[in-house]
Amino acid sequence: RPGQGKPLMPNITLIEAINLALHSEMQRDESVVVLGEDIGRNGGVFRATLGLLDTYGEERVIDTPLAESGIVGTAIGLAMRGYRPVCEIQFDGFIYPGFDQIVAQVAKMHYRTRGTVKMPITIDGMPLSTSSDSFTIPATCGRANSLV
């Protein structure tokens, strides 16, 4: 029988799954951009973005200042211009400065404009992520037209 005694998929860590998903989506869709603190040369605090800068360049892998509200605000502007931003938030506790924009702008913009404005934003690092979401959530970034 297929797979008997052998894993059907290789064992990888949560961070490796996120990294693979980001690489996959950035390769598939040039409008996917990643932004966050220390994500370029350093590859992020957990190395989830390792190798993205070398492969996709500074225009698609954007190191930001230490300002989560700025990261989310920039993502909103990028989404309104047709990009599919992925906000890489280092720790879930850091997302709170960006909550106002998530609730007041991202969550409502599509409906306030009768669907003419899409908000295809992925926010990675929020407390909703589980190990089973580790590939699904980032892989959705290039395909969903609303907040993931």
Per DSSP bridges, beta strands 84-88 and 32-36 are: parallel
pTM given for the model: 0.81
Neighbour-count burial of 75, counting CB atoms closer than 10 A to its CB (0-12 exposed, 13-18 middle, 19+ buried): buried
Which backbone phi and psi does 57 adopt, to 5 degrees?
85, 170
Q: What is the pLDDT of residue 137?
A: 55
pLDDT tens digit sequence for 29-72 = 999 999 999 999 999 989 999 999 999 999 999 999 999 999 99
Which pLDDT score, from 0 to 100, does residue 145 have?
A: 73
Are 30 and 59 within 8 A, CB to CB?
no
